[in-house]
Amino acid sequence: MVGKHDGREGERMTTKLCFLTMIFGVLCSSAWADPVARFGGGGYDGYDLDSARPAIGYPQVSNAGGATNVLATSAWLNGMLLSTGTAESVVYVYWGTSNGVTNKGNWGAWTNFGAGVEWQALTTNVSVNPNTTYYYRFYATNAAGDEGWASDSAVFLTPGTPVLNTGVGAAPVSFATATLNGNLTAGGSATVSVFWGQNTNAWSGTNSLGTRTLGVFGTAVSGLSPVTLYYYRCYGTNASGEGWSDIAAFTTRVLSVARAYGGSYDGYDRFTAQTPMVGVVAGTIFSFY
Task: Indicate the domain borders of the chain.
Answer: 43-157, 163-251, 257-288
pLDDT for residue 144: 86
Please state the pTM of the whole predicted model: 0.62
Rounded Cα gap, residues 221 and 180, in angstroms: 8
pLDDT by residue, tens only, the chain of 289 residues? 444 445 455 555 444 444 444 434 433 333 333 334 433 344 445 555 555 555 667 899 999 989 999 999 999 999 999 999 888 999 999 999 999 999 999 999 999 999 999 899 999 999 999 999 999 999 999 988 899 999 999 999 999 999 999 999 999 999 999 999 999 999 989 999 999 999 999 999 999 999 999 999 999 999 999 999 999 999 999 999 999 999 999 999 998 655 555 556 566 666 555 555 544 444 444 433 3
Same CATH topology for 43-157 and 163-251? Answer: yes
The CATH H-level (homologous superfamily) assignment of domain 163-251 is Immunoglobulins (2.60.40.10)
Evaluate whether the domain defined by 43-157 bears CATH number 2.60.40.10. yes
Nearest to 283 by CA among 256, 251, 265: 256
